[in-house]
Structure 1
Amino acid sequence: MADQVKYWLWWILTVLAAGISTNLHGQATKRPNFILFITDDIGWGDIACYGNPTVKTPNIDSLANKGLLFENAYLTASSCSPSRASLITGRYPHNTGAPELHDPLPPGQVMFPQLLKEAGYYTVLSGKNHMGPQVKQAFSLISPGKGPGGEEDWVSIIKTRPRDKPFLAWFASYDAHRDWQFDDKGTAYSPDAVFVPPMLYDGPVTRSDLAGYYHEVSRVDYYLGALMEELERQQLLDHTYVIFMSDNGSPFPRNKTRLYDSGIKTPFIVYGPGVATGRTKALVSTIDVAPTLLELAGMAVDGRIQGQSFRPFLKNGTKKGSRDFVFAEHNWHVFQAHQRMVRYKDWVYIRNAFPEKAAYAAESTRHYPAGNELWDAYDNGLTRKEQEDIFRVPRPPEELYRVTADPHQFHNVVNTKRYRKKLRFLRKVMDQWIDETGDTVPENPTPDRDDIYGNRLPGDWQKGEKPGAAKHAEKITKKGPLRKRDIRAAAY
């Protein structure tokens, strides 16, 4: 009965707010438009404004200069479909019912584009979906996208949209997903001149692989520029919010799927009316996008959404954000996994339920060029310690990193005596989040599907128990701790 009352109260508030919104300064205004520009497999450090010395991204850099660049924006999973399912619902992967790669979003899950659509928005998804058939009801139009990166119809979609409705455009590129495709919209990079991240082996094969990757990053930049030009031509920039982000880390060893910053951090830039300009170190999670956009549209936030709106923070981005903690998870993605992460201030704590397993992703095997060269280098004794993470078995059940001193999380200080108090506190934070959100370690988890060469393992492979299933986490709405004050009986 209480749930029904909450629903009808939410529905009434939404209807009342449907025709009007407020800007960041609280003034009545026309309902804003939203463009969610989601790239595929682009790591947070692989854009010029985030410090990459090789890649050319003038349009992304321009958006960052005119808007607010987040230095500490975190995904909830560094894995394609779980990340997207989490984004569209504003819920943690194990709470969506789709926590593993290729899981379709099940019926009954909240989707913020559907809420916008029901409130009168024209909603469109173009490009990569990877969330299953349920999302069709959330969008007025779904397009597979055009061109090698899926971006070629985006400008035409903005041109031909209904002019009597505000819009949400979920523009999701296939760039920069393997295998590389080259055209005249991306920059051509010389393998000899590319920046090689320190977790990768610096060899000719890896350099060539990175040159293809950076080409697709530059193609994304080209289409962002074309989109911004069209918004300007239609005089839409004064009432359109643009969010630029990615779904997971780059498709290279120790990045994609992983809970280190190279995998779980996302580039995150917000541009729009009243949004502060500059850079911020405030923590934000991608589950916060849903409640933020709903509030910007003047709507009530559905009670099933676990994210925390950062709308109040947008007009003064130099101040502290809306949360002290962000959480993320690593579940099955071709290889068996169950890891959990919490970021708090300068600290990252990771818990691994399967320490006996190597931390593989398809990109860290011999199946792809950079991975194959790394394996060859390791076999021949040519690698450095920071390049050998994927070969470590068993792995530590717990990891602790001080991010400011160790930005790549190469040096695990979990056994350092002077950090024991911090470790106890973060264990407590993690325990509370697991308890409140209904996370579980499956007794019959999904097994490895492939070998290290990218070949299917013999036998009748099938998925196992999903994280959270034992506690029906897909029905849980608790958010877990957001602020330090939320921690029960803090372990100091």
Structure 2
Amino acid sequence: MRKNNLIHFVFGYIALILTSCSAQKKNEQANVKNTQPNIIFYLADDQDVYDYGCYGNEKVKTPAVDRIAREGILFENAFTAQAICAPSRSQLFTGKYPLKNGCFANHSKVKPDIVSITKQLRKLGYEVVLAGKSHVSPDEVFDWDKEWHAVERPVGPREYIPIDSIQSYFKKAKKPFCMLVTSYYPHAEYFNVEGATAQDIKFYPFNESKKNNPAFIKDKAGYYRSIAEDNKQLDQVLTAADNYLGDNTLVIYSADHGVSGKFTVKDVGLKVPLVARWPKVIKPGTKSKQLIHYTDVLPTFMEIAGGKATPDMDGTSFLPILQGTETAIHQYVYGVRTNQNILNSEVFPSRMIRDSRYKYIRNFNSVEVVEQNLTNKPHVDFFIRRGANAFKNEPFEELYDLQNDPFEQHNLINKPELKEIKERLTIDLFSWMKAQGDFLNEQPGTMPLIKGKGKAGFRLDEDTPRRKIPDAIKNTLKEDDYRIIKHW
């Protein structure tokens, strides 16, 4: 009996030790997971970086955004590569520039083999949620763990974020999550505001000529009102985060691109607001002048989650900046312009490279070089010439000193003293384009007409609500006249 008792005691003791070790291991795993912060990324739609209180516009009311900046960090030089909705968002969710990820025209898809934010963060233990506007595809690439569409309300010209679902999720969350709250505001159509005057609007060099334009002032006042409405939504998200989530929650606010520079590669289109709050990590009231880019957002999230960017990503994590180290992320950022596949479709592609001071732009179908782009096919050349003439005031090359001319009003391309700067930027731009698989190159030549396979996308030779085509040229383009983007 004594021997049996001893055996039972030994086995019981061993079992107790194993159970204790297993419990300890589970607790350690739980503690590791608990160190992963929740991530909330709030994205507004079509709002200039210049239209925020924290970015210097005292005429517009943005208290919720200003609060994040006050409680965290404000980035002064954050950029998207394309001033248009789908390509801008696709960069955020892939870590890759538009030409590499495949979505370089609006209403187009990324390549089907892209591994997006959903799979990248899911394998690091996160649930990835979209709340609001998507405008990215295909669904197989952007396979959200949960997705809630925007909701209509009796007031307001646009749909609203699904705040009830967001609040409920915050209350019940059991694992780390990345939630993308994507607003439809302040994108047009705007609120109707009566009695607005020029004194209600802040003007800049790119729009000060419209101070005496009543229609512009009324439109801008409605835009300001829509901005205020979006801030109410953001405030609800912040309140819910404060009520239901702990300090280990990173909140980032941005807007996908500027509305005043939409479809361009000017800073008014590509420069974006980006403010972040992360208690006990980000020092309140800080600013960063470092160049960061939308392709950096996913690598940053991956590093925060305990992983790292994949080698094929274009972006670099800016987590060190959030943690208080003002370290350089990029020497250059780049921009892409594609005016095809929209309602005002024209053949006028552009590329941009920018460092902390200088910007170089090339407009590949400028009137200066349009004759070199022709194909000897009259029905094709009609659209190439039409595209050049639609932007006849935009030269083949542009160079700006952003330190002295932040609104890009004075083209310095012919200044002899800036020749070396132009050459440096040009060489790096075309090296980047080649690495991206760009179909444009340094020498003027055939200008591609682009579209999706079959009936996908807008055809150049058909009318749209915003563009009329002469009857004689309608439906003259054949499939082999286009450069077909098969995955669109």
* Aligned residue in 2 for 1:373: none
Shift of 1:400: 0.5
1:134 aligns with 2:139: yes
Please tell me the residue identity of whatever aligns with 1:325.
Y
CA contact (8 A) 2:368 2:395 kept: no
Shift of 1:137: 4.8
Q: How does 1:86-105 map to 2 (within 5 A)?
A: 86-105=91-110
Q: In the alignment, which of 267, 285, 293 is matched to residue 273 of structure 2? A: 267
Please tell me the residue identity of whatever aligns with 1:256.
K
Q: In the alignment, which of 313, 322, 327 is matched to residue 320 of structure 1? A: 327
1:444 aligns with 2:448: yes
* Aligned residue in 2 for 1:299: 307
Please tell me the residue identity of whatever aligns with 2:467.
N
Shift of 1:396: 1.4
* Aligned residue in 1 for 2:214: 204
TM-score by length of 2: 0.77
Please tell me the residue identity of whatever aligns with 1:283.
L
Counterpart CA distance in 2 for 1:99 and 1:328 is 11
Mark the CA change 1:456 to 1:344 in structure 2 (over 3 Å): closer, same or farther.
Answer: same
Q: Percent of pairs identical after alignment?
A: 27
Q: In the alignment, which of 351, 358, 362 is matched to residue 340 of structure 1? A: 351
Counterpart CA distance in 2 for 1:126 and 1:450 is 35
* Aligned residue in 1 for 2:187: 177
Shift of 1:155: 4.9
* Aligned residue in 2 for 1:425: 424
1:221 aligns with 2:192: no
* Aligned residue in 2 for 1:362: none
* Aligned residue in 2 for 1:37: 42
Mark the CA change 1:64 to 1:85 in structure 2 (over 3 Å): closer, same or farther.
Answer: same
Mark the CA change 1:55 to 1:399 in structure 2 (over 3 Å): closer, same or farther.
Answer: same
Mark the CA change 1:124 to 1:419 in structure 2 (over 3 Å): closer, same or farther.
Answer: same
Shift of 1:196: 3.1
Q: Deviations over 1:359-393 (max 9, x none)?
A: xxxxxxxxxxxxxxxxxxxxxxxxxxxxxxx9751
Mark the CA change 1:139 to 1:392 in structure 2 (over 3 Å): closer, same or farther.
Answer: closer
Report the secondary structure of 2:290's partner residue.
Answer: strand
Gaps of 5+ in 1: 1-17, 23-27, 359-389, 475-492
1:256 aligns with 2:266: no
Shift of 1:246: 1.2
Deviates more, 1:454-463 or 1:72-81: 454-463
CA contact (8 A) 1:357 1:394 kept: no
* Aligned residue in 2 for 1:379: none
Q: How does 1:18-29 map to 2 (within 5 A)?
A: none
* Aligned residue in 2 for 1:287: 295
Counterpart CA distance in 2 for 1:398 and 1:235 is 50
Question: Structure 1 runs of 4+ off > 4 angstroms?
Answer: 18-22, 447-453, 461-467
CA contact (8 A) 2:114 2:141 kept: no
Please tell me the residue identity of whatever aligns with 1:246.
A
* Aligned residue in 1 for 2:13: none
1:354 aligns with 2:365: yes
Q: How does 1:459-470 map to 2 (within 5 A)?
A: 459-460=474-475
Shift of 1:276: 3.3
Mark the CA change 1:34 to 1:401 in structure 2 (over 3 Å): closer, same or farther.
Answer: same
Shift of 1:332: 2.6
* Aligned residue in 1 for 2:57: 52
Shift of 1:197: 3.3
Counterpart CA distance in 2 for 1:120 and 1:291 is 15
Counterpart CA distance in 2 for 1:284 and 1:451 is 39
Deviates more, 1:445-454 or 1:60-69: 445-454
Report the secondary structure of 2:295's partner residue.
Answer: helix
* Aligned residue in 2 for 1:67: 72
Report the secondary structure of 1:444's partner residue.
Answer: coil
Deviates more, 1:141-150 or 1:221-230: 141-150
Counterpart CA distance in 2 for 1:423 and 1:48 is 35
Mark the CA change 1:86 to 1:206 in structure 2 (over 3 Å): closer, same or farther.
Answer: same
Counterpart CA distance in 2 for 1:21 and 1:401 is 51
Counterpart CA distance in 2 for 1:132 and 1:357 is 37
Mark the CA change 1:465 to 1:53 in structure 2 (over 3 Å): closer, same or farther.
Answer: farther
TM-score by length of 1: 0.76
* Aligned residue in 2 for 1:454: 466
Deviates more, 1:64-73 or 1:330-339: 330-339
Report the secondary structure of 1:134's partner residue.
Answer: coil
Number of residue pairs the alignment of both structures matches: 409
Q: Which has the larger radius of gyration?
A: 2
Deviates more, 1:393-402 or 1:142-151: 142-151
Q: Deviations over 1:96-154 (max 9, x none)?
A: 12211110223211202322123332221121111123267531111221235444413
CA contact (8 A) 1:399 1:414 kept: yes
Counterpart CA distance in 2 for 1:77 and 1:19 is 41
Shift of 1:163: 2.2
* Aligned residue in 1 for 2:121: 116
Counterpart CA distance in 2 for 1:101 and 1:57 is 28
Report the secondary structure of 1:190's partner residue.
Answer: coil
* Aligned residue in 2 for 1:153: 162
Q: Deviations over 1:21-70 (max 9, x none)?
A: 98xxxxx9521111111111011111111111310111111111111111
* Aligned residue in 1 for 2:338: 331
CA contact (8 A) 2:334 2:354 kept: yes
Counterpart CA distance in 1 for 2:365 and 2:85 is 21
Please tell me the residue identity of whatever aligns with 1:168.
C
